[in-house]
Amino acid sequence: MTQNAPLAVGLDIGTTKIVAVVGRLNEHRKIDVLGIGKSKSLGVQRGVVANITLTIESIQAAIKMAEDNSGLKITEVMVGIAGQHIRSMQHSDYIMRDDAEAIINVVDLENLKRNVDNLVMMPGEQILHALPQEYRVDGDSNIINPQGMYGSRLEANFHIVVGQIASIKNIARCVEQSDLMVGDITLEPLASADAVLAEEEKDAGVVLVDIGGGTTDIAIFKDSIIRHTAVIPFGGKVITEDIKEGCEIIEKQAELLKVKFGSAWPGENKENEIVSIPGLRGRPPKEISLKTLSKIINARVREIMESVIAEIRNYQQNDPRKRLIAGIVVTGGGSQLKHMSQLVEYLTGMPTRIGYPNEHLASGYVKELASPVYATSIGLLSMALENRSAPMAYDPNESEVPAPPTEEILKAEELEVEGAPDQTGSAMAPPRKDPFWKGFVSGIKEWLENDDIE
């Protein structure tokens, strides 16, 4: 392990659980997980904070467990954003350049993106990210990177991700009141994709379906660019509710039934396969048919997948060029149901696999971490390690506590990422790959500073 490699922390604030993972990159660019903390999420509903006090308690419990496991003090976290308040849209925009004989550079791309940032949103909404899909220069289309070209009219199609300011602010407030700094922020589907998708899949065309507790997140990639995102406002918790109501048992028993005996394919079980559930105080045990259980699960999974199929069709819109050769990758806690991949493949007609976040992990990791349940948290940690140079945690036994990066350092990093023009003014920098939080985190910090938080 590279002892002086920066430490990073990913914090997944989900509907059913909150997970904190701390680690660093080793010499082979693999993640050495140093500690993990997990707590029940008590204040989040469908990815949105419903009770700030309970959410803070859950975050603190997960952070403390991660600190105890790693022996490190966590100061800053990379947080995932998801929930039913997230929506996406397509938008085209353009700029007219003053000098058509000068080559297109980073400044022109920034000016074009600035136009998109000024797009009027619905009240209470904030643009989280404007992802360029393809560019056009003077009518020439399907240009991936226009830098170095000549032209007067620069256009682009953007995939815009939008979220509710209040929901994002509440998550940031919970992190701040847990005695942590909000470092970086990313969309959870992007984090999950980073953990479980191969670059070849993103290039060929793939649909990521992350079935969480409260929501199901969808991200579609083609030509290594994210093309479509969506959030379906139900996930594994709704399946548990269905079992609870259908079998007339309490929620804890329904969850255990789902995890231990649940199957997404009813044909597997026979009518005479019975499981006995202990009755409530003074009541006889309840016998439940596994075939009935799998029928209940199958009905809800089919409903979720119908929404997924609708989103895929929205993206494709009868355009054969948008064919998704790599098929579907299902991850998240809901993907662990037996025969899930077979059912998804049957319903969609697309090749399907379960996504495990083990590709980025160094050898010797705890087997539990390779579960799809931890796809988002491992993805958040991976993205934090790739994008951060300052540590998010430190060893309390060391004499010096690492200071957070100064504003000058952060500005220097941003300039380095953007690329400065050379002496001739050509600015032949590589295409920007800035994560959306570059300008967004500072906005959250301003909100928090302007609020009177007790």
Sign of the torsion formed by the C-alpha atoms of 37, 42, 46 and 49: negative
Q: Which residues contact 284 (CB under 8 A, 6 or more apart)?
A: none
**DSSP SS3 for 125:** strand
pTM of the prediction? 0.80
Mean per-residue pLDDT, 234-247 = 91
Task: Kindly list the structural domains of the chain, giving each domain's residue range(s) and its CATH number in brackets, ordered by start.
Answer: 199-357 (3.30.420.40)
Q: What angle do CA 54, 374, 214 make, to 5 degrees?
A: 50
CA atoms of 348 and 316, how far apart (whole Å): 14
CA distances from 54 to 18, 255, 366, 446 (A): 12, 21, 29, 24
Q: What is the pLDDT of residues 107-138, one digit of tens each?
A: 999 889 888 888 888 888 888 878 888 899 99
CA atoms of 51 and 57, how far apart (whole Å): 10
The pLDDT of residue 185 is above 70: yes
Q: What is the pLDDT of residues 1-38, one digit of tens each?
A: 455 678 899 999 988 899 999 999 888 888 999 999 99
Q: Are 116 and 439 in contact (CB under 8 A)?
A: no
The token pair that represents 230 in the structure block? 């969506």
CA atoms of 88 and 283, how far apart (whole Å): 50
The token pair that represents 352 in the structure block? 């399907």
Tell me, what DSSP letter sits at residue 117? H
Q: What is the pLDDT of residues 267-312, one digit of tens each?
A: 777 777 888 888 777 788 888 888 899 999 999 999 999 999 999 9
- Grade residue 396 by pLDDT with cuts at 50, 70 and 90: confident
Task: Map tokens 């929930």 to a residue.
Answer: 83
Residue-wise over 83-113: b if at least 16 C-beta within 10 A, else e?
A: bbbbebeeeebebebeeeeebbbbebbeebb
The pLDDT of residue 198 is above 70: yes
Any idea how long the chain is? 454
- Grade residue 448 by pLDDT with cuts at 50, 70 and 90: low
